[in-house]
A = this chain, B = another copy of it.
Amino acid sequence: MPTGPTTRDGFLADCRARITFDLLSNTWNGVTLWALRDGPRRHGELRERIGGISAKVLTETLRRLEYNGLVERSAYAEAPPRVDYALTALGRTLLEPIEVLGAWGFLHGDEVLQAQDERPQ
C-alpha cells in the first residue's frame, strides 16, 4: 500500500485511510463480501450467487479476504465433509461502505458510461 510522506492533508497521508481503497481495489473482494452478507456460504453457493467468477478466482479471493481478517473458513467433520465461509465481525463492518459504493453505482453508473462514450480514451 502506498505510504506518502507527511503532508498537510492527514486523510490522504494516513496509511490506515488508504487500507479500505486497497481492500476494495480488487472488484471481487467487495462483491464476495457482499455475497456473504446473509450468512455462511459454501464455495459452490458463493460462485452461483456472485455469477461470472471462476472457481479459481473465487478461491484466491476468499484466501485474500481470510488473510485480511474479513472472512473465516470453517471445516465441519460431517459426511460428506463440509467447508463454508462467513464474514468475521470485522468483515461485517465493511458491508456499509460496500453498500454506499453499490448505491452510487446504481444512481450514477449510467452517467459514467455516457462520459466514456463521449470521450475518446
Binding site for B on A (CB under 8 A): 1-9, 11-28, 30-31, 34-35, 48-53, 66-70, 90, 93-94, 96-97, 100-102, 104-116, 118-119, 121
Contact = CB atoms under 8 A, between A and B. Distances in A.
A41 to B, nearest CB: 11
User: Which 3 A/B pairs are nearest by Cβ-Cβ distance?
Assistant: A4-B52, A69-B115, A16-B109
A12 B27 contact: no
A116 B68 contact: yes
Contacts of A18: 27, 31, 105
9 contacts: A2-B28, A4-B50, A12-B34, A16-B113, A20-B109, A21-B24, A68-B116, A69-B119, A96-B100
B114 A13 contact: no
A24 B110 CA distance: 16
Nearest to A3: B52
B31 A102 contact: no
A96 B59 CA distance: 32
B19 A105 contact: yes
